[in-house]
Structure 1
Amino acid sequence: MTPLRPPLTPRNGDPLVTARSAVPVSLRACERHRLKKMAYGHKTPHQLRCRAEVVLAASRGHSNARIARDTGLHLDTVRTWRGRFANGGLPALPDRKRSGRPPLFTLMQTAQVKALACQLPAESGVPLSRWSCPELAREAVKRGITAFVSASTVRRWLTEDALKPWQHRSWIFITDPSFRTKAGRVLDLYARTWQGHPLGPKEYVISADEKTSIQARCRCHPTLAPGQARAMRVNHTYGRGGALACLAAYDIHQAKVFGRTEPRTGIEPFMNLVTQVMSQEPYASAKRVFWIVDNGSSHRGTKAADRLTAAFPNAVMVHTPVHASWLNQVEIYFSVVQRKVVSPNDFTDLAQVRDRLRTFGDRYNATAQPFQWKFTTSDLDDLLARLDRHTADHPEESSAAPAT
């Protein structure tokens, strides 16, 4: 009988390990949930996806060789990430921080470019209205801040501090001395209240306005419908077919819109819209119908209110404050018209524009629901309080502050 050979031993006397045993991996429910999101998420980076698959397979008791065969990874790679997770958990899966390439720019240079981006170009004598990343890069080199810097590097620096000098936002102070009173009346009507009393069942609230200059642009080549991996294509060259105005009255509580088109805006077209609404039920026999309008020339001031009441005694005109057309809910409907009907503008003539607007109104009324208006009088008071605090912190702007 042949005797068994003793195991090979190295010079230090310890026995050699001929095969490495896989590190056991056990997962908690929260860890398994996060790993599944990493492994199957569409936005997960490929490296993290592969590491999550390795850990999930290891938790099922699979060997390293089987995991490597199933995932297409090298055996050493599987062994590495299995071991890292066993020792450090989920925080061990991302790449470790590395020293990387030495920085080319100092912190002072980065701060100087950011400070330059926070200045208006006119303050530096540069004939620009706004900074762009290429312009900032050229200006930094011109001022000697750095010998060279690319626009992408400047963009990365600005992204760190969420600076976008190429963008701008407009603003305006409230100048109407009766802003709180006028805006409060409109918001109370939206909440079915007038002068502290709830509206009755035969009282209605109408929001009305005009959308001017809707053009009929006949494209020189037909518009191409979208296809596979291709957006809709609209030819840039067009012929002008005229323009018209769209007038709309929106019952904010019934979610019903009344529309018409006119060659232009004015007192007579607006009164045509009023007549169209007030000549039908339930508005003809209503106790009161409140018409919320802005300060456009066709319905501005007390003369317009008197003209409306003279034509329809049960109609009450309520004006929004100056520069506060955003309080008029019909503007929301016009934004829907702009997105779904007018853009992209491709009409053969004005008759097609009129027909499209009319049929869209019918389609809208078939499924419309009241807008979820969330701005209340409490929000209005908070807004005015913030503006008052801002004015107190900037006395030089007190002449433009609102009177509450």
Structure 2
Amino acid sequence: MAERVRVREISADEGGRLLGLVRRSSGSVVTWRRAQIVLWSAQGMEVGQVAPLAFSSEDRVREVIHNFNADGFESLYPRYGGGRPPRFSAAQRAEVKRIAVGRPADRGLPFSTWSLAKLAEHLVAKGVVDDISHEGLRVLLRDEGVSFQAMKTYKESNDPDFEAKKDRIVTLYGIADGKTEPEPDDPAVVICVDEFGPLNLQPHPGKQWAPVGGSHKDPNRGPRRRRRATYTRPHGVRHLLAAYDLAGDKLYGHMKKRKTRTQFLAFCRYLRTLYPPEVRIAIVLDNFSPHLSTRKDTRVGDWAQANNVELAYTPHYASWLNRIEAHFQALRYFCVDGTDHPSHKEQASIIRRYIRWRNNNAADKKLNDIVNRANVC
């Protein structure tokens, strides 16, 4: 029969010290786990109950309790040899990275993501490393190019012609960037077109500069702007029909009350007037219904054929291929976030002024940082 082992009686001060070791977020994982084992035993738990909680064997739990009964808190701290502990080998670092980017559930653990504490504990329990602090683990992961990031969503395209459409758009981008030699029938100008909106009159969330600790109720620290709450929005919406000329690095836009095929064609005619009729242009656009020709309404296709225009449609659920999306991110940051426009006229005015500013300041660092972060293709 296995020996029944229980930690000795501990005082209130010792209990508080053990609790402090368990709650801290830095230091040796070995010390942290040993303190947990001692606390569980002090709470009346048997060795067989403690072992699965500690991800350890019953023999190891008994050893920790015996050592604490004999040596007290000194037994909680690992006794390394003299000098600096050895660095982790390349194989250990690779294994730590492999485990960190995986899912805990795949290893039979009852949680969905790794924290530094859980990951460090698992690495020690599995013998990947003898010991590692939470901060040491964070530094190791950072050196290996791993950081704690928010999960992103994606939508997979179900377009049967995905590859052909994507390759054509990428080729057009290469022509506009001067990286691809154009064929005789290839367009000389590439324009990305899409709609931004709907834009309604509401307070938009955003950020601002304000005194530290500032409050609208604290006059000594200065007032901080508040965002108005709204419940009814009776003023309708507006839509921005926008285009981005890749080679010219120019943004164009028209504000409209509606975004039907009629408004879209009017905007396309405007874009066509920017270049001589003999210059072939390509328009990259998504599969929004006003952009398409149908059996009942062939105006879009007829206009493109008659005006020396190639329409390059992105695959379904692949609007990220349209480079204008990245410029919408910058537009939202500079002239929509944190605003509360009283009228559509004022809202349209600031958007038009932004487009003029953007075309005159295309080299602005903040602008390019936002666009480059958002640009996928």
Q: Normalised by the size of structure 1, how large is the TM-score?
A: 0.48
Q: Alignment RMSD, CA only? A: 5.1
SS in 2 for 1:356: helix
The structure having more radius of gyration, on CA atoms, is 1
Tell me, in whole angstroms, the C-alpha distance in 2 between the residues paired with 1:263 and 1:124: 55
Aligned with 2:146 (options 163, 171, 181): 163
Question: Which residue in the other structure is 1:307 paired with?
Answer: 299
Preserved contact between residue 201 and residue 343 of structure 2 (Cα < 8 Å) = yes
Preserved contact between residue 234 and residue 344 of structure 1 (Cα < 8 Å) = no
Tell me, in whole angstroms, the C-alpha distance in 2 between the residues paired with 1:224 and 1:188: 39
Establish whether residue 182 from structure 1 lines up as the match of residue 163 from structure 2.
Answer: no
Indicate how the Cα distance of structure 1 residues 207 and 166 shifts in structure 2: closer, same or farther if over 3 A, else same. Answer: closer
Tell me, in whole angstroms, the C-alpha distance in 2 between the residues paired with 1:130 and 1:250: 41
Question: Which residue in the other structure is 2:184 paired with?
Answer: 196
Preserved contact between residue 204 and residue 336 of structure 2 (Cα < 8 Å) = no
Indicate how the Cα distance of structure 1 residues 141 and 204 shifts in structure 2: closer, same or farther if over 3 A, else same. Answer: closer
The one-letter code sitting in structure 2 at the alignment partner of 1:161 is E
Preserved contact between residue 104 and residue 111 of structure 2 (Cα < 8 Å) = yes
After the TM superposition, which residues 259-298 of structure 1 pair with which residues of structure 2 at under 5 Å, given as runs?
Answer: 259-263=253-257, 265-278=259-272, 281-283=273-275, 286-288=277-279, 290-298=281-289
Indicate how the Cα distance of structure 1 residues 134 and 292 shifts in structure 2: closer, same or farther if over 3 A, else same. Answer: farther
The one-letter code sitting in structure 2 at the alignment partner of 1:131 is W
Establish whether residue 318 from structure 1 lines up as the match of residue 345 from structure 2.
Answer: no
Indicate how the Cα distance of structure 1 residues 111 and 250 shifts in structure 2: closer, same or farther if over 3 A, else same. Answer: closer
Stretches of structure 2 lacking an aligned partner (at least 5 in a row): 1-81, 215-222, 369-376
What is the CA-CA distance between 1:118 and the residue it aligns to?
3.8
Establish whether residue 122 from structure 1 lines up as the match of residue 115 from structure 2.
Answer: no
357-366 vs 122-131, greater mean Cα deviation? 122-131
Tell me, in whole angstroms, the C-alpha distance in 1 between the residues paired with 2:202 and 2:343: 8
What is the CA-CA distance between 1:357 and the residue it aligns to?
0.7
Tell me, in whole angstroms, the C-alpha distance in 2 between the residues paired with 1:204 and 1:145: 57
Preserved contact between residue 213 and residue 245 of structure 1 (Cα < 8 Å) = yes
Deviations 1:257-279 (A, max 9, x none): 3312345644344234224444x
Preserved contact between residue 124 and residue 130 of structure 2 (Cα < 8 Å) = yes
SS in 1 for 2:193: strand
What is the CA-CA distance between 1:144 and the residue it aligns to?
9.1
SS in 2 for 1:218: coil
The one-letter code sitting in structure 1 at the alignment partner of 2:142 is T
Question: Which residue in the other structure is 1:258 paired with?
Answer: 252
Deviations 1:157-201 (A, max 9, x none): 3234333364657787996241465236523652597642576xx
Tell me, in whole angstroms, the C-alpha distance in 1 between the residues paired with 2:152 and 2:87: 34
What is the CA-CA distance between 1:355 and the residue it aligns to?
1.8
Tell me, in whole angstroms, the C-alpha distance in 1 between the residues paired with 2:303 and 2:337: 37
SS in 1 for 2:311: strand
Preserved contact between residue 320 and residue 327 of structure 1 (Cα < 8 Å) = no
Tell me, in whole angstroms, the C-alpha distance in 1 between the residues paired with 2:192 and 2:119: 47
Aligned length: 266
Tell me, in whole angstroms, the C-alpha distance in 2 between the residues paired with 1:121 and 1:315: 56
Tell me, in whole angstroms, the C-alpha distance in 2 between the residues paired with 1:116 and 1:255: 44
The one-letter code sitting in structure 1 at the alignment partner of 2:283 is I
What is the CA-CA distance between 1:338 and the residue it aligns to?
2.8
SS in 2 for 1:154: helix
The one-letter code sitting in structure 2 at the alignment partner of 1:316 is V
Indicate how the Cα distance of structure 1 residues 124 and 206 shifts in structure 2: closer, same or farther if over 3 A, else same. Answer: same
SS in 1 for 2:146: coil
Indicate how the Cα distance of structure 1 residues 247 and 327 shifts in structure 2: closer, same or farther if over 3 A, else same. Answer: same
The one-letter code sitting in structure 1 at the alignment partner of 2:107 is S
Preserved contact between residue 241 and residue 254 of structure 2 (Cα < 8 Å) = yes
Percent sequence identity over aligned pairs = 22
SS in 1 for 2:334: helix
Question: Which residue in the other structure is 2:21 paired with?
Answer: none
The one-letter code sitting in structure 2 at the alignment partner of 1:183 is I
Stretches of structure 1 lacking an aligned partner (at least 5 in a row): 1-98, 373-382, 384-404
Deviations 1:194-224 (A, max 9, x none): 642576xxx754321122344544279x986
What is the CA-CA distance between 1:319 and the residue it aligns to?
1.1
Preserved contact between residue 223 and residue 234 of structure 1 (Cα < 8 Å) = no
Tell me, in whole angstroms, the C-alpha distance in 2 between the residues paired with 1:138 and 1:237: 47
Q: Normalised by the size of structure 2, how large is the TM-score?
A: 0.51
Indicate how the Cα distance of structure 1 residues 238 and 351 shifts in structure 2: closer, same or farther if over 3 A, else same. Answer: farther
Tell me, in whole angstroms, the C-alpha distance in 1 between the residues paired with 2:115 and 2:267: 47
The one-letter code sitting in structure 1 at the alignment partner of 2:289 is S
After the TM superposition, which residues 26-41 of structure 1 pair with which residues of structure 2 at under 5 Å, given as runs?
Answer: none
Establish whether residue 337 from structure 1 lines up as the match of residue 320 from structure 2.
Answer: no
Preserved contact between residue 207 and residue 250 of structure 1 (Cα < 8 Å) = yes
Aligned with 1:239 (options 227, 230, 241): 230
Question: Which residue in the other structure is 1:401 paired with?
Answer: none
